[in-house]
Structure 1
Amino acid sequence: MKVPALLQSLTPQRLLRASVVVALLTIALKTTAWYVTGSVGLLADAMESLVNLASALFGLAMVTIAKRPADDDHPYGHHKAEYFSSGFEGLLIVVAALAIVWAAAQRLAQPQGLEQVGWGLVLSVVSSALNGLLAWAMFSVGRQHRSIALEAGARHLVTDVWTSAGVVVGIGAVALTGWLWLDALVAMGVALNILWEGVQLMWRSSQGLMDEAVEPEVLAEIHKTLEVFKHPTIRFDHLTTRRSGQRRFVDLHMHMPPDWSLGRAAAVRTGVEQALMSAVPGLRATIQLLPSNVEAHFDDVEDLI
């Protein structure tokens, strides 16, 4: 998907700084909405915005660390720092969901009437619009920079928008029907919704930390690029891939005629590596040269192409 021109100059750090400001604004709006109405549903919505703020601050710290260059202690770079951001956000969401369930259970046992519903709904809608606009920007820039921290934040904001919509509908239903228990029920629905999202974020983060393979579309692009270099005298095998934050890595063996000079073989390998890294932005390719009559033996099954 093409990134809008307005967002092309934005970096993940700038957008996360903006998300901190938006989180503070939405906390103020939603807390005010809860204060004037007394709705536990709006209280749940405000608590989720606190999670947004904490996630934005932690995400900004992790993205800054991920941008650090490789050093002696981290020769492959610091790109995996973004996975900690995603996992931390997921954990915060789970904690917030449990707190919302507790508050909703108290209100379900002791229902209370709502006040100034109109003002509360207006404030909630305004905060949702801010979150929706920020989520759109974070999705666009996150895909451009392959930033899991931005994508995790965007997914959470989208969930926030939907839960806010549910809260608005629930409070409207309470005002129309007078059924006070609906407010607590809506809050519990919000909790279950964000709980599921928190678990998904934590799972995705764990997969990244365990060197998950690249996406299917990226792997297909790698195979497509290697097909260009295939020849009766050249073949590739033992192809493995992994993801590390914004980086993608591929390792493989390249078999060539044993009578080729080292210079000729190295020149072909350089061409393959450059083609792979041009086809997949952010990819780092490592190719081991082997004579065509030599096989490398591993415990895993060869990935022949």
Structure 2
Amino acid sequence: MSTAPDTPTPVAPVQRETARSVDLTRFAWLSIAAAVATIALKSAAWAMTGSVGLLSDAAESTVNLVAAVVALIALRVAAQPATDKYLYGRAKAEYFSAAVEGAMIFVAAAVILVTAVERFIHPQPLENVGVGLLISVVASLINGGVAFVLLRAGRRYRSITLKADGHHLLTDVWTSVGVLVGVGLVVLTGWDRLDAIVAFAVGVNIIITGTRLVSESVAGLLDQVLPEEDNAILVEILRRRSEVQDDQDRVDFHGLQTRGAGQQKFMNVHVLVPDEWTVKHGHDYIEELEAELIAALPGLTVATHLEPISDPASYADIPSASIPIRPATAQPDS
């Protein structure tokens, strides 16, 4: 004759931190300031030299400004708390920002490619190259510093908007380096068409960047799974909890699914507990589990489904796609 297990010690309520997001708009303002400064510097360099390569560099900075303004709007929307209309918040607004930035990059690339081809057909000599290159170097240093800040903040806060903006600025830096080398070679070799070739290469590179940004934003909108390192943390906790129990008090898990939305992380999992547990016992166990998961992965929202471990119906609703918790999880004998 079996007796109901002792009721576990009540646990403190789990603090849900996923309903609010960190305000990241200060980084967008930094990006806007950098874009305005570099547009002015690069436009001056182009006006002084007549280099189509430097013109393409200035055009990309114009895209940076538009993208930074879009990013500011997206970050403001994403930072707003959940409402009766948007119960899960609006974190996915960041993915629209990345998509818009990718589209703007394609427009800039098209303009650069057309200009480069025209200049290749009708080459022109460059003027005041020394001063123009110096101005462009200053602009590149500004972009490089801001890119470093944005990428670090993007990784820390899991913001696709900041990461997209940071990668774009970093690409702009490398673009500027290529342009500077190309313009320098034009001066050394006297081959004016090399300037157009460099500009064309810049356009191709920008297209590659835009394709990557659009791909990443689409993946986010389609609820792509969390990164492998995050999933590994969750799997380790669930695996450990399913292995420390004895046969009479064993708990198991299946149907683990995860997704990300901007700064927010979500997971859902089925929790299989002994048939004899009371609702109170199962609830306290889940509260304890969720507290551990959130402590290990801050910003996580956990959804659990409680099921009796010996009921065959508990194994009939496993999602068709889920993250394996162990190489093989067999249904226990009744």
TM-score range, shorter chain: over 0.9
Whether 2:210 is the aligned partner of 1:198: answer yes
SS at structure 2 position matched to 1:171: helix
In structure 2, distance between residues paired with 1:256 and 1:195 = 52
Contact kept, 8 Å, 1:236 with 1:304, in 2: the verdict is no
CA RMSD across the alignment: 1.3
SS at structure 2 position matched to 1:290: strand
Q: Which has the larger radius of gyration?
A: 2
After superposition, give the CA deviation of every residue in 1:250-292 in whole Å (9 maximum; x if it has no partner): 0010000111111111000011111111111111111111111
Q: Which residue of 2 aligns with 1:153?
A: 165
Aligned-pair identity in percent equals 42
Q: Which residue of 1 aligns with 2:53?
A: 41
More deviation, 65-74/121-130? 65-74
In structure 2, distance between residues paired with 1:211 and 1:62 = 18
Match 1:280 to one of 289, 294, 297:
297
Please list, as runs of the form range in 1=range in 2, the aligned pairs for 1:23-172 lying within 5 A after superposition.
23-172=35-184
Match 1:300 to one of 305, 320, 324:
320
In structure 2, distance between residues paired with 1:163 and 1:150 = 19
CA apart distance, 1:228: 3.1
Q: Which residue of 2 aligns with 1:213?
A: 225
After superposition, give the CA deviation of every residue in 1:81-137 in whole Å (9 maximum; x if it has no partner): 000111111111111011100001110110001000001100110000000000001
CA apart distance, 1:64: 0.6
Q: Which residue of 2 aligns with 1:181?
A: 193
Q: Which runs of 5+ in 1 are unaligned?
A: 1-9
SS at structure 1 position matched to 2:145: helix
Contact kept, 8 Å, 1:101 with 1:191, in 2: the verdict is yes
Q: Which runs of 5+ in 2 are unaligned?
A: 1-21, 326-334
SS at structure 1 position matched to 2:277: coil
Moved over 3 A (4+): 301-304
Contact kept, 8 Å, 1:124 with 1:164, in 2: the verdict is yes
Q: Which of the two has greater helix per residue?
A: 1
